[in-house]
Amino acid sequence: MHFYYYLLAVAGAGAESRETAQATPPRPRYGDAGALRASVYGMNHGQRVLNADRFPDEPEVVLVVQVHNRPAYLKMLVRSLENTAEVRRFLVIFSHDHLSEEIAGIVQGVTFCKVLQIYYPFSQQLYPGEFPGQDPKDCPRDVGKEAAVKAGCLNAEHPDSYGHYREAHITQAKHHWWWKLHFAWERVRALQGFSGFAVFIEEDNYLLPDFYHFLKNMSRHRKAHCPDCDMLALGNHDGTSGFNELSGKLETTGWLSTKHNLGMGISREIYYKMMGCSDEFCTYDDYNWDWTLQSLSGTCISKPLKVLAARGTRVLHTGDCGLHQKDACQPEQAHARILDSLRQAKAALFPDTLAITRQGPVEHRAHVKNGGWGDIRDHALCKTYAKRL
């Protein structure tokens, strides 16, 4: 099915009955892309929650995990979840942009909490030879506009700010993040009525054992001492350095891409503020969702986003490879580092009290755009997510 016809079909899905939506979804058909697209449509519509009979209570914690195709790191994340206190109170939503039997086996092997899988429906895997994947008639990244126009490639008129043309594998992560944010808050039936912070993480993250304890206390502390804090940040990029001293300490400051994109707690209220800036998010020429969000804080979102952040991280970053380091993945070494970090942090977990010990400025922080997001097709697709796609 051509992408644009499929787009229309998915956009109309919300009109179907609740009873139909709760039917058991089909298993993915790992064959041609068309069959896989149909499977994704059915599974997103069906939303079968695994282990719901075992854990019938409403979730107290919602985790939303962006998953690509790094099964070794995903296994580490699942292991950390299993070792997290009170994990039975969690609903973990795994949002996939790559389907495989190996990844499905890892997620569906989780038995210790409720699990829901959702699927980004416009991935490279589902559209391997056309937009939003890489169309063979697209302009090469570095061809230059004059040569592109002369060659007549599809997107010749729309390079990014640096004269480069889109690469599907680069644009996909930002697309997936924005779609996932919308789908979780608007379309996931298991979240209807949920009034807390949903915590957004990625497959190469690792939760500390007191994550639940810390999140609950942090949420209470925000309500009592920082009601104007818009977001939570349960992780940082400092690892467990100084953790014994910082375990129970918090700080308030303006939200920054480089500091607060790990373990982000987003409420429904802030989600609505973000979606009010959908056009700005979707046209900002930066392929990074987090730098794009920082650009909106204090501009389209008129009041700069204020974050309540853990100084002692509760989310570790295991990934030693990603978009730009595809050949450097060393999950065994990453796991060894994690175990060492856990040994360092163990004695200071589960602090009795929390305290805000540092307050930073809350202001708009301008930065140089990274580009990679100049194609008007990406802009148009991105904008559709806020229209109940």
The string of pLDDT tens digits covering residues 171-197 is 999 999 999 999 999 999 999 999 999
| Residues facing residue 205 across a β-bridge | 317
CA gap 385, 75 in Å, rounded: 30
Is residue 370 marked as binding? no
User: What does pLDDT average to over the chain?
Assistant: 92
The answer to whether residues 134 and 124 touch, using CB atoms and an 8 Å cutoff, is yes
Lowest mean pLDDT among 3-7, 62-66, 291-295, 313-317: 3-7
Is residue 204 marked as binding? yes
Is residue 173 marked as binding? yes
Packing angle, helices 71-82 and 101-108, rounded to 10: 0
The answer to whether residues 289 and 373 touch, using CB atoms and an 8 Å cutoff, is no
Is residue 67 marked as binding? yes
Mean pLDDT computed over 241-246? 95
Q: Indicate the pairing of strand 306-310 with strand 231-233.
A: parallel
Is residue 70 marked as binding? yes
| pLDDT score of 17 more than 50 | no
Mean pLDDT computed over 313-325? 78
- What is the CA 221 to chain-centroid distance, rounded? 25
Both structure tokens of 373: 């997001």
Instruction: Assign domain 3-126+168-384 to its CATH architecture.
Output: Alpha-Beta Complex (3.90)
- For residue 189, the tally of other CB atoms under 10 A from its CB is 12
| pLDDT score of 5 more than 50 | no
Q: Residue 93 — very low, low, confident or very high, per pLDDT cuts 50/70/90?
A: very high
Give the percent of the chain with pLDDT over 70.
90
- For residue 31, the tally of other CB atoms under 10 A from its CB is 9
| Residues facing residue 117 across a β-bridge | 94
| Residues facing residue 62 across a β-bridge | 91, 198
Per domain, the residue ranges of the chain are: 3-126+168-384
User: φ and ψ at 281, to 5 degrees?
Assistant: -60, -45
pLDDT tens sequence across 114-161: 999 999 999 999 999 999 999 999 999 999 999 999 999 999 999 999
Is residue 85 marked as binding? no
pLDDT at 155: 97
Is residue 110 marked as binding? no
Is residue 68 marked as binding? yes
Is residue 75 marked as binding? no
Is residue 175 marked as binding? yes
